[in-house]
Amino acid sequence: MKFASDSPKISYVELTLFREKTKFQVELLNGKICITLTDQTERVRNFSGLDIRIKKLFMKRLSAAISSKIVFGKIRLKKSIRPEFWPACFFYAPLIPYIAYLTVRYRGLGTICAANPGIPLGGLVGESKEQILKNMNSENVLKFFKVSGTQSNVEKGFEFIKRETLKRKFKFPYILKPNAGQRGSGVKLVKNENEVLEYLKETNVDLIVQEYHPGPEEAGIFYYRFPNENEGKILSITRKIFPILEGNGTNTLGELILKHPRFQYQWKVFKERFVKEWETVLSLGEKKRLAEAGNHCQGALFTDGSSLITKELTREIDRISKTFSGFYFGRYDVRYRSDEKIKLGKDFGIVELNGITSESTNLYDPDFSIWRMYTILFKQWNLLFRIGFENRKRGVPKTKLSEIIKTLIVFYGGNRKVNVRSD
């Protein structure tokens, strides 16, 4: 069924009746709805003269279409009042005056880039995941290697991955993702060689091939340390809960998502990811995981994990961070097997480390008030400027605003080809 509109008063409804597409014209005349049918010979017949079967089928389909629009309208309305789903430009708007104040107080926006002198621009944008992971001397870092951009020669990149995975004893499944990426874009759990080849055809950027940690748990650990202090601290921990559906033997995957009290808010993400399975009925008790990337905009639920913060874990994260010269502020994304182990600072794998544009993602906990969300956000930015300013006093140069703008233009305005759809 398709809708089109040429004016506020006239709309066209295209239905498939008896396996043939038929176009109805719905027109508002003098406050009354007039419906006519246009067949393939462009003849127009009044609705009252239609075959009774077509009348019933049309009204049934039209009713379903109207109901669908009402359902999606309700979803959009409910989503719009949940701050965790607000567009970034809208959510961050109240922060702009505060950043302007901090910029003046700490002598320039470029001060933030001095917070992590060991990362280009402090990890503002486009930082290399490979270089960051290499700079950490820790067995907790999941094994990985880099693949150069493959658009010009997909087969060459494919053969390189085959050789390196064999050499490093990587087994399927493993992760493919951009070496420089944001918000979980392009993260793919590949299960066979065909999926690897298909992924390479859709990108022209440098990639990271990384071993897969099954978890089942994932968390974001936000760490910071002032250069004049010996010990760092954990600002926050975010639990990342992956979306999992359970079938009832009756409803399709799409219907279950649209009925779910949370998953419905991100139905577009899930439909793009599972377009071929959208109309598939899940059997009774069948469980379907809807996301592999632990990212909020990819479907994961973020909740506050402050109960995981212990002296043992803080000590271990601080130890790992100090092996990376020039790192003071950022978020570790880790996978682990149990709360008990990670509280002891043991048995977890580091997926990646993000720099100064990291978020203290516990602020997206749906139980947090908007006041608490902004309190966390303002504290994070205050710490960032203070750490950057402290490093500047120690001789780290301030990054020029022109360099920041140039880097942003190159990253977002270049010819990067990345499939934003993630698993």
268 and 395 belong to one structural domain: no
pLDDT band (50, 70, 90) for residue 181: confident
From the number of C-beta atoms within 10 Å of its C-beta (0-12, 13-18, 19+), residue 112 rates as buried
Which residue shows structure tokens 């708007």? 93
The pLDDT of residue 13 is 45
For residues 219 and 63, what is the distance between their CA atoms, to the nearest angstrom? Answer: 45
> pLDDT per residue over 314-369, tens digit each?
999 999 999 999 999 999 999 999 999 999 999 999 999 999 999 999 999 999 99
Q: Is 392 left (phi over 0), alpha (psi -120 to 50) or beta?
A: alpha
> pLDDT per residue over 237-253, tens digit each?
999 999 999 999 999 99
For residues 416 and 406, what is the distance between their CA atoms, to the nearest angstrom? Answer: 16
Q: Is 326 left (phi over 0), alpha (psi -120 to 50) or beta?
A: left
Looking at residues 280-302, what average pLDDT do you find? 91
275 and 185 belong to one structural domain: no
In a domain, 232, yes or no: yes
232 and 247 belong to one structural domain: no
The pLDDT of residue 53 is 61
For residues 313 and 302, what is the distance between their CA atoms, to the nearest angstrom? Answer: 20
- Sign of the torsion formed by the C-alpha atoms of 244, 250, 253 and 259: negative
CATH number of the structural domain spanning residue 91? 3.30.470
From the number of C-beta atoms within 10 Å of its C-beta (0-12, 13-18, 19+), residue 5 rates as exposed
The pLDDT of residue 49 is above 90: no
Residue 185 tokens, joined: 């874009």
- 23's enclosing H/E stretch is strand 20-29
Counting the structural domains of the chain, the total is 3
For residues 178 and 190, what is the distance between their CA atoms, to the nearest angstrom? Answer: 14
For residues 138 and 244, what is the distance between their CA atoms, to the nearest angstrom? Answer: 32
- 55's enclosing H/E stretch is helix 52-80
206 and 233 belong to one structural domain: yes
Residue 28 tokens, joined: 């508002």
Backbone angles phi, psi at 211, to 5 degrees: -65, 150
Looking at residues 70-79, what average pLDDT do you find? 86
Q: For residue 389, how far is the Cα from the chain centroid?
A: 31
In a domain, 91, yes or no: yes
Q: Is the peptide bond before 94 cis (omega within 30 degrees of 0)?
A: no
The pLDDT of residue 56 is 67
Contact of 21 with 4, CB cutoff 8 Å: no
262 and 201 belong to one structural domain: no
Distances (CA, A) of 285 to 163, 257, 258, 290, 303: 40, 15, 18, 15, 26
Contact of 213 with 349, CB cutoff 8 Å: yes
The pLDDT of residue 265 is 94
The pLDDT of residue 43 is 42
213 against 29, higher pLDDT: 213
248 and 385 belong to one structural domain: no
The answer to pTM > 0.85 is no
58 and 128 belong to one structural domain: no
In a domain, 203, yes or no: yes
277 and 229 belong to one structural domain: no
For residues 385 and 398, what is the distance between their CA atoms, to the nearest angstrom? Answer: 12
The pLDDT of residue 216 is above 90: yes
Backbone angles phi, psi at 70, to 5 degrees: -65, -45
The pLDDT of residue 423 is 62
Written as one string, the DSSP assignment of 213-270 is P--SEEEEEEEE--TT-S--EEEEEEEEEPPEEE--SSSBHHHHHHHSTTGGGGHHHH
The pLDDT of residue 374 is above 60: yes
In a domain, 344, yes or no: yes
The domain boundary, picked from 74, 92, 125, lies at 74
Distances (CA, A) of 237 to 162, 212, 307: 36, 21, 8
Residue 212 tokens, joined: 């897969």
Looking at residues 38-65, what average pLDDT do you find? 55
pLDDT band (50, 70, 90) for residue 298: confident
- 340's enclosing H/E stretch is helix 339-343
158 and 62 belong to one structural domain: no
The pLDDT of residue 257 is 95
For residues 326 and 116, what is the distance between their CA atoms, to the nearest angstrom? Answer: 5
From the number of C-beta atoms within 10 Å of its C-beta (0-12, 13-18, 19+), residue 291 rates as buried
Q: Over pLDDT 70: what percentage of the chain?
A: 81
Domain extent at residue 282: 243-290
The edge-to-edge listing of strands for the beta sheet with 2-7 is 2-7, 10-17, 20-29, 32-38, 44-46
The domain boundary, picked from 32, 52, 74, lies at 74
Q: For residue 4, how far is the Cα from the chain centroid?
A: 32
In a domain, 422, yes or no: no
In a domain, 418, yes or no: no
Contact of 422 with 269, CB cutoff 8 Å: no
60 and 94 belong to one structural domain: no
The domain boundary, picked from 290, 323, 350, lies at 290
In a domain, 42, yes or no: yes
- Sign of the torsion formed by the C-alpha atoms of 46, 52, 54 and 57: positive
One-letter amino acid at 302 equals: F
48 and 191 belong to one structural domain: no
367 and 229 belong to one structural domain: yes
Backbone angles phi, psi at 95, to 5 degrees: -80, -20
Residue 276 tokens, joined: 């071929």
In a domain, 67, yes or no: yes
The pLDDT of residue 185 is above 90: no
